[in-house]
Structure 1
């Protein structure tokens, strides 16, 4: 049986970037603050991840505004709802990925899509699909359906590839296909985070990779992936690994602030 993720995992520079990210996560998990305050750290990391995801969608809100519950943007609220739901979706992600994606979209797109369109894929390339990242037209309905089938198969099939490689591909496919037509970026980033948790790299959901994506050249990375070349795909996976490493730095700062308090 072929293992396409294993092929991607062996592309130039990918093994080293993935290993660096894994070692960073391992160091974080040994932080003494996590012995007693892991749930608090996870909650703060989730808040920062949701904020970064919304910022990548063009809605940047300060953390203190989020903490006070004063953010009215539907994009921000959708990112917060999707992030809060991840802990309840892990057990379903491998067995029913389409169901999970529909649920994430239902949460992320409230106030952005019509009620009857929540959780429902777009029907054609002419459906509303904003392009804030400059990725170009969405693929046609037939190509999107084929690639979504392939994505669901990747999530549900065993692979020798590291979790980070799968998470990077899940994120990129959803971001470039824009299968729902609105709020796809928030869904893509939530699905990446869910994959990192469910497939074992970050089981306590402590690492806000979204923060790393915000700091790195996000659109450029996705355009590299969109090229379809081995070089472009490798560049994206390396960038996704760097985003995880950056997320570790963010959570380490959270831990150290709690330690000083």
Structure 2
């Protein structure tokens, strides 16, 4: 996994901060975040060719009334969140394979690292631990990590827009994967801006 470009990180941070400063985001963030979570879930399902209901079910952990609790649990007991996401996606809550990779990732999450949303996303996706449900779980967990670490504290961005638009490149996950994730968050902030404009 490559290191990320600091310039891209700065661009992503500024873009996300800007949408969080919009009056609608300050007054009624639950409206814009709900729409962003729903759009993201539908696109997440399309990426893997799974029913939208599967991703929407997982995304309930990202809903405005649940995301703060989910985020706190994620930082102290990430395996518990992965298991819950798997159940919501139709699994039995146990990894199909590569348990060691998830355990190692869990230690990284608890101890902390730079750009945790990208690290979580790439690590879960590359592990394939949840079979066909892995992608949906990876994307939801990345969003949750973004909230938990304050990268996107209200969960407004919709990175799935970029991931769906560049699906083939995304699924290949080349050496530039963390920078790819940052580009997704930059595009996701632009999508959040469009949601904010419509909600105003």
In the TM superposition, residue 146 of structure 1 has moved relative to its aligned partner by 2.9
Number of the residue aligned with 1:250: 191
Number of the residue aligned with 2:93: 119
Match of 1:211 among 149, 158, 161: 161
Number of the residue aligned with 1:62: none
Task: Tell me if 1:19 matches 2:18.
Answer: no
Once residues 195 and 219 of structure 1 are traced to their aligned partners in structure 2, the CA distance between those partners, rounded to angstroms, is 24
Match of 1:85 among 37, 58, 61: 61
What secondary structure sits across from 1:182 in the alignment?
A: helix
In the TM superposition, residue 250 of structure 1 has moved relative to its aligned partner by 0.8
| Structure with the largest fraction of helix | 2
Once residues 90 and 252 of structure 1 are traced to their aligned partners in structure 2, the CA distance between those partners, rounded to angstroms, is 23
What secondary structure sits across from 2:112 in the alignment?
A: coil
Number of the residue aligned with 1:55: 46
Once residues 48 and 170 of structure 2 are traced to their aligned partners in structure 1, the CA distance between those partners, rounded to angstroms, is 15
After superposition, the C-alpha distances for 1:170-223 in whole angstroms (9 at most, x for unaligned) are 1112112111223111101000000000011111111121222112x2342443
Report the aligned-residue RMSD: 1.8
In the TM superposition, residue 40 of structure 1 has moved relative to its aligned partner by 0.6
In 1, are the aligned partners of 2:122 and 2:178 still within 8 Å (CA)? no
Number of the residue aligned with 1:29: 20
In structure 1, stretches of 5+ residues that fail to align are 60-74, 123-140, 226-231
Once residues 158 and 253 of structure 1 are traced to their aligned partners in structure 2, the CA distance between those partners, rounded to angstroms, is 32
Which ranges of 4 or more aligned residues in structure 1 deviate by more than 4 Å?
A: none
In 2, are the aligned partners of 1:211 and 1:247 still within 8 Å (CA)? yes
The structure, 1 or 2, with the larger RCO (C-alpha pairs under 8 Å, 6+ apart) is 2
Once residues 5 and 168 of structure 2 are traced to their aligned partners in structure 1, the CA distance between those partners, rounded to angstroms, is 19
In 2, are the aligned partners of 1:222 and 1:236 still within 8 Å (CA)? no
In the TM superposition, residue 90 of structure 1 has moved relative to its aligned partner by 1.1
Number of the residue aligned with 1:198: 148
What secondary structure sits across from 2:32 in the alignment?
A: helix
In 1, are the aligned partners of 2:79 and 2:103 still within 8 Å (CA)? no
Number of the residue aligned with 2:34: 43
Once residues 174 and 39 of structure 1 are traced to their aligned partners in structure 2, the CA distance between those partners, rounded to angstroms, is 27
User: Structure 1-normalised TM-score?
Assistant: 0.70
In 2, are the aligned partners of 1:172 and 1:222 still within 8 Å (CA)? no
